[in-house]
Amino acid sequence: EIQLQESGPGLVKPSQSLSLTCSVTGYTITSGYDWSWIRKFPGNKMEWMGYISYSGSTNYNPSLKSRISITRDTSKNQFFLQLNSVTTEDTATYYCASGRSGFAYWGQGTLVTVSS
């Protein structure tokens, strides 16, 4: 069974970087699928942020411009989100997710609050 779990700080100061880890068990991230980050804002809007593919290529939402980076550590079967220069607008619940067609597998989500 594929399982994903997010981890990282729940509070980040404005202008700093948000860094999250998604740990994957039950499947090797280099075997297949795209591995995405998705966030849900207060008020329920959902946004796909980007993914890293099983081959290591990345694809980002242009709305995040040059602030986002998704990387991975294949030895630990983890992938990571870094979002730079955060503002209060980046306060959201962050999910990692994956699947063949549509997101069949989701982490439990982690709330990140941007506040001084």
Partner 1 sequence: DVVMTQTPVSLPVSLGGQASISCRSSQSLVHSNGNTYLHWYLQKPGQSPQLLIYRVSNRFSGVPDRFSGSGSGTDFTLKISRVEPEDLGDYYCLQSTHFPWTFGGGTKLELK
The residue ranges that bind partner 1 (CB under 8 A) are: 44-48, 59-63, 95, 97, 99, 101-104, 106-109
CB of 110 to partner 1, least distance (A): 11
Residue with Cβ nearer partner 1 (30 or 108): 108
Residue with Cβ nearer partner 1 (64 or 80): 64
Q: Would you call 58 exposed, middle or buried from its count of C-beta atoms within 10 A (0-12, 13-18, 19+)?
A: middle
Residue with Cβ nearer partner 1 (11 or 104): 104
CB of 113 to partner 1, least distance (A): 18
DSSP at 13? -
Angle, CA of 67, 61 and 92, to the nearest 5°: 70
CB of 23 to partner 1, least distance (A): 15
Residue with Cβ nearer partner 1 (101 or 116): 101
Residue found under tokens 């593919």:
53
Note the Cα 80 to chain centre separation in Å.
6
